[in-house]
C-alpha cells in the first residue's frame, strides 16, 4: 500500500549530479525554503533538464554526531521532460500516492509566474 503525501513545495532547477542530501541542504538554506515537513508532507525537486524528479519524504539527524539522513525517491522520466498533468502518475510509479493535487497546481502556477517575471 502506497503512503499518501501532500506536496509542501516544488523546487525547480536543481543539479542532480549532486546527492539528494546536498540538494536538500542547499534548499533548506535558501530564502525559498517553505519550512520543515509536517506529517505526510513532501518536497518535490525537479532537475534542470526537467527529466528527473526527487521526492523528499523525510529527513532526520541520528547518532551522537548528528548525521543527517534523508528518505527520498528518485524518478527518471524516460519519455522526454516532465508534464505537470502527469504528476500523480509519476508519484505512483515512485511508490507515492499524492493527495491535494489542486494545491500542486497553485505551486506550479506560482513558479511559472516567478519564472516569467
Between these two residues, 21 and 117, which has the higher pLDDT value?
Answer: 21
Number of domains in the chain: 1
Give the tens place of pLDDT for each residue, 57-107. Answer: 988 877 777 788 889 999 898 888 887 778 888 888 888 888 876 666 676
Laid out side by side, the sheet with 67-76 consists of 67-76, 52-62, 41-47, 3-14, 96-99
Domain of 99 in residue numbering reads as 3-116
Cα distance between residue 7 and residue 97, in whole Å: 11
> What is the residue-averaged pLDDT of the chain?
84
Q: H/E/C letters for each residue in 23-34?
A: HHHHHHHCCCCC
53 — pLDDT class (breaks 50, 70, 90): very high
Amino acid at each position: 500500500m502506497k503512503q499518501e503525501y501532500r506536496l509542501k513545495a516544488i523546487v525547480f532547477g536543481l543539479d542532480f549530479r549532486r546527492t539528494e542530501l546536498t540538494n536538500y541542504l542547499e534548499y533548506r538554506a535558501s530564502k525559498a525554503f517553505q519550512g520543515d515537513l509536517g506529517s505526510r508532507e513532501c518536497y518535490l525537486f525537479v532537475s534542470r533538464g526537467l527529466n528527473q524528479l526527487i521526492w523528499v519524504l523525510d529527513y532526520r539527524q541520528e547518532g551522537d554526531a548528528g548525521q543527517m539522513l534523508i528518505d527520498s525517491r528518485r524518478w527518471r522520466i524516460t519519455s522526454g521532460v516532465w508534464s505537470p498533468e502527469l504528476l500523480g502518475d509519476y508519484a505512483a510509479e515512485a511508490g507515492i500516492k499524492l493527495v491535494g493535487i489542486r494545491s500542486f497546481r497553485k505551486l506550479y502556477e506560482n513558479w511559472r509566474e516567478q519564472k516569467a517575471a
